[in-house]
Structure 1
């Protein structure tokens, strides 16, 4: 019998997780974590979110400039009849299937129905058309899947096969009988009209809150899902495949799947007076405190600061003021306790904590918190995919082998005795 071989010594040339390693050049935006600042193009992302909104951010990412008063993002969302027919089955499949799993399935089918061409074989206009299409259909598909799965309206209320013209939802009637018009805030109005449980989902304060949230989260540097999308795009694959790969990454609780878990923590804590003890118990057990800490920011996440302001504005207008007040009190105690327990590790509030609070105030069901995030982030993924497609070199890093030292003799196959 061959003795176990010694492992090959190997060192990594980069830090774990590629933290801080620059792997590409981009004009889309950047995150300056030490400063607590991030931007889209040359503009502060938070300022864009509060003053211009999601539609203009999408236009900026796809065109490299903000639209003028007469321009708006063109995003037809015609869904093929074959997809319409299969959406109910996709939406109801599985007992605990996550909405993002259903979205992946629907987009994969749409890619086949659209005869999606590889990025390698497409010209810039074809790539842009694919990106616009995916961004436009994502909220339409997710809203329909939610209703099919929950039985709300029995999937009725969204003509998923209609041509929505220049923006998401322009000719789509919601289940309350209203019609969503194109223009600023169109995606937020459409999404709230389709999924919100608020008594009046058309309230401009709710629309403004979700519009700012969508705009602020459209992109955020080379996070796991964006890097995944660019890696797939670098192979020359079609845009739909790259987006589906990003969605798969996004479903993980360490990335996109945290807003609902952060709000679950608020529910678990209950009385803010319990916060310090709750944090100590979690830290002692080695559990992660969802909604706090970020791999890039060493100060407060600017998205969290913006969403805290929005949560308090909604509270002042009467939208679940108890939740917002409790969130602020719990946040204060969590940060104080983390500073006490981990004095050498800066752990600030991140976007997920107040994202969950704002979405709850707006009546978005908790299971749709991460899908709402996806409605926004698909824009950033698509912009990065388009940018990557202009580089004809595949992303192909190396790994440090640390297994048994080769070459070893291949053992002969031992035949079982004949009976």
Structure 2
């Protein structure tokens, strides 16, 4: 039999073997996507790290929309971000300390922790050679492979004691920016034919500054660096239920090594329904800038957005990217912070007209989506709606948008891994799937 035809035949047979009636999920009480009928997540674990609040539940168990809140170790996100804006200082390192330990550091602890991160930012020369060998590959894949390779350089990779987990976490947080920066510079050289620059991280810079230095040399402003720092903060953690963090917790529950678990989280985040959504949003924005002649004309914009929802325009998916969230209802606190940051950056970059247009897309996109759904369930802009625009204004290429998300979320991943392996009564995470296919009688090969 022709091998290409065999692949086609196997694929065609999958059409039938994968059929599961939608009503069967209701019949057997299955929570598709680990979601309840009211849209809330199925409770599968407990955590002390992040808390995502998008609705309130009354005494009768009914959900009611509310303004979104995000808490890191009990502290509301806005309360952590506001002092950094006022004091014009970098804070990602401080937030990393908080998420890993559960406590805000004092000045001496923060200084020592920052120095520890800086000490661990340089890469082993073997990792650099490995990145060069992978030139042209997807940077998220390079990141995952480099993480797996770190296992071979670790003198004690399988030790899951608290001390060793913390050491590994700090090394991963410190090395992610360097791996991503080097991978992009090599991609830029091999694919785009540009000059190759490998810049070593500097001791006296924050992680955000060091990343921009390694990517752009000194071609960035102080506001660029502070905006990247704050963007990393709002992406650092989002509870245990988001897909990539849950992936890290599931794999950690088997007591596998740190590098295997984190590589799995990277694979999850890469997906366009998760971390890859920021590229979908900025590409949609570019399209709308071309498609809408008058950026202030609400009627023209609404007409086009409704055509998108009807699958008649843009990419015919029926989606307005960046609008809607699985948990948040009235607002996503991360999007609220990024909207404010985008406004500050747009003013410096002379891109206020685009920023105002993006805000109009948000407002009208929510209205059009709710009308299209014929539902009073509120929707809001999510994190991805503004993040791509901020990256673009800083001058960062799309190839590293999702890797920067990973560079931020590695803090939350490692914090959740440590918690998963250290709380009392831990068990391997092993949910059930019900098989709904009846038994079959075996047929000898000569009779098939």
TM-score by length of 1: 0.85
Match of 1:15 in 2: 31
Q: Quick check: 1:275 aligned with 2:301?
A: yes
Pick aligned residue for 2:147 from 90, 107, 110: 107
What aligned pairs does 1:167-182 form with structure 2 within 5 A after superposition? 169-171=201-203, 181-182=204-205
Which residue pairs with 1:359 in the alignment? Answer: 391
Tell me, yes or no, if the aligned pair for 1:100 and 1:247 is still in contact at 8 Å: yes
Which of the numbers 174, 194, 217 marks the counterpart of 1:136?
174
Deviation at 1:209, TM superposition (A): 1.1
Shift of 1:13: 4.3
Quote the residue 1:215 is aligned against: 233
Q: How far does residue 326 in structure 1 lie from its aligned partner after superposition?
A: 1.9
Residue 398 of structure 1 corresponds to 432
SS at match of 1:88: helix
Which structure has the higher relative contact order (CA within 8 Å, separation 6+)? 1
Which sections of structure 2, spanning at least 5 residues, go unmatched?
Answer: 1-16, 36-40, 56-65, 85-90, 312-316
Deviates more, 1:308-317 or 1:268-277: 268-277
Secondary structure of 1:33's aligned partner: strand
Question: What is the match of residue 88 of structure 1?
Answer: 132
Q: Name whichever structure is richer in helix by fraction.
A: 2
* Structure 2 residue 76 is the aligned partner of structure 1 residue 44: yes
* CA RMSD between the two structures: 2.3
- Measure, in 2, the Cα distance between the counterparts of 1:89 and 1:319: 40
Following superposition, the deviation at residue 339 of structure 1 comes to: 2.7
**Per the alignment, do residues 265 and 132 of structure 1 end up closer, same or farther by CA in structure 2, a change over 3 Å counting?**
same
Shift of 1:122: 2.7
Which of 255, 263, 274 is matched with 1:255 structurally? 274
Q: CA deviation at 1:77?
A: 2.7
CA deviation string 1:10-41 (max 9, x = no partner): 74445211121121111111101113111001
TM-score under structure 2 length normalisation: 0.80
Structure 1 alignment gaps of length 5 or more: 160-168, 172-180
Distance 2:431 2:257 in 1: 21
Give the C-alpha shift of residue 305 in structure 1. Answer: 1.0
CA distance in 2, matches of 1:27, 1:351: 22
Q: Aligned pair in 2 of structure 1 residues 414, 98: CA closer, same or farther (>3 Å)?
A: same
Hey, what does 2:62 align to over in structure 1?
A: none
Does the CA-based 8 Å contact 2:185-2:198 persist in structure 1?
no
Alignment of 1:9-408 (within 5 A): 11-19=27-35, 20-34=41-55, 35=66, 36-52=68-84, 53-72=91-110, 73=113, 74-75=116-117, 76-90=120-134, 92-93=135-136, 97-115=137-155, 117-118=157-158, 121-151=159-189, 154-159=195-200, 169-171=201-203, 181-182=204-205, 186-196=206-216, 200-201=219-220, 203-221=221-239, 222-270=241-289, 271=292, 272=295, 273=297, 274-285=300-311, 286-344=317-375, 345-391=377-423, 392-403=426-437, 405-406=438-439, 408=440
Q: Work out the number of aligned pairs and report it.
A: 380
Question: How far apart in 1 are the matches of 2:262 and 2:406?
Answer: 10
Q: Is the 8 A contact 1:50 1:212 kept in 2?
A: no
